[in-house]
Amino acid sequence: MDRKSPFDIMAQLGSLRRYARVLTRNDADVEDLVQDALLRAHERRDSFRKGGDLRLWLMSILHNAFIDAARARRAERQRETAAARLAPQAL
């Protein structure tokens, strides 16, 4: 008997990649974002409710990973800008 696992992440890869492409608008960043989301999902797999919607759970993780990365990039730019203002100007 062929029963699907309720935690069949492989079946969701296409949807995750499409959503990542929409969020990043950059094909080069898609796989990195999906990989980050899958790692987070694996680390938090115990938080998945039995009978829950795996696709929705994974999409939420992917979305949150994207937001976290965007915030980290913004904070890094702000730190670089602040450091550039504080650095002595070369003559």
Task: Specify whether domain 10-86 bears CATH 1.10.1740.10.
Answer: yes
> What's the half-sphere exposure (Cβ side, CA atoms, 13 Å) at 83?
6
In the chain, domain spans:
10-86
Q: State pTM to two decimals.
A: 0.81
Q: Are 26 and 34 in contact (CB under 8 A)?
A: no
The string of pLDDT tens digits covering residues 5-54 is 667 889 999 999 999 999 999 988 999 999 999 999 999 999 999 889 99
Exposed (0-12), middle (13-18) or buried (19+): which is 88, by Cβ within 10 Å?
A: exposed
**CA atoms of 70 and 41, how far apart (whole Å):** 19
pLDDT band, very low/low/confident/very high, at 64 (cuts 50, 70, 90): very high
List the one residue out of 47, 40, 91 whose CA is nearest residue 62.
Answer: 40
pLDDT band, very low/low/confident/very high, at 86 (cuts 50, 70, 90): confident
Answer with the residue of higher pLDDT: 6 or 74. Answer: 74
In the predicted structure, residue 60 carries a pLDDT above the cut 90: yes
